[in-house]
Amino acid sequence: MSESRIRFRHLQTFLEVARQGSVARAADFLHVSPPAVTKTLRELEEALGVAVVERDGRGIRLTRIGEIFLRHAGTAITALKQGVDSVRQDGAVNRHPIRIGALPTVSARVMPLAMTLFLKEGTRAAIKIVTGENAVLLEQLRIGALDLVVGRLAAPENMTGFFFEHLYSEQVLFVVRAGHPLLDPNQDVFARLDEFPMLMPTRESVIRPFVDRLFITNGMTAPATEIETVSDSFGRAFLRQSNAVWIISAGVVANELGSGAFVALPVNTEETKGPVGLTMRTDTAPSPAFSILLQTIREAARQGS
pLDDT at 84: 62
pLDDT at 89: 45
**Using CA atoms, how far apart are residues 245 and 8, in angstroms rounded to an integer?**
49
pLDDT at 215: 86
Bridge partners for 131 per DSSP: 102
The candidate with the shortest Cα–Cα distance to 10, out of 50, 43, 35, 36, is 43
pLDDT in tens, 187-213: 888 888 889 999 998 887 878 888 888
Helix (H, G, I), strand (E, B) or coil at 216: helix
> Residue 86, Cβ neighbours under 10 Å: how many?
9
Q: Does the CA dihedral 201-111-79-165 come out positive or negative?
A: negative
pTM over 0.75, yes/no: no
Low-confidence residues in the chain, pLDDT < 70: 1-4, 79, 81-95, 305
pLDDT at 164: 93
Chain centroid to Cα 243, Å, comes to 29
Q: Residue 190 half-sphere exposure, CB side, CA atoms within 13 Å?
A: 13
pLDDT in tens, 258-275: 999 999 999 888 888 888
Q: Are 62 and 53 in contact (CB under 8 A)?
A: yes
The candidate with the shortest Cα–Cα distance to 201, out of 171, 174, 229, 238, is 229
**Using CA atoms, how far apart are residues 148 and 211, in angstroms rounded to an integer?**
26
The dihedral formed by the CA atoms of 25, 30, 34 and 36, expressed in degrees to the nearest 10:
-160
pLDDT at 85: 59
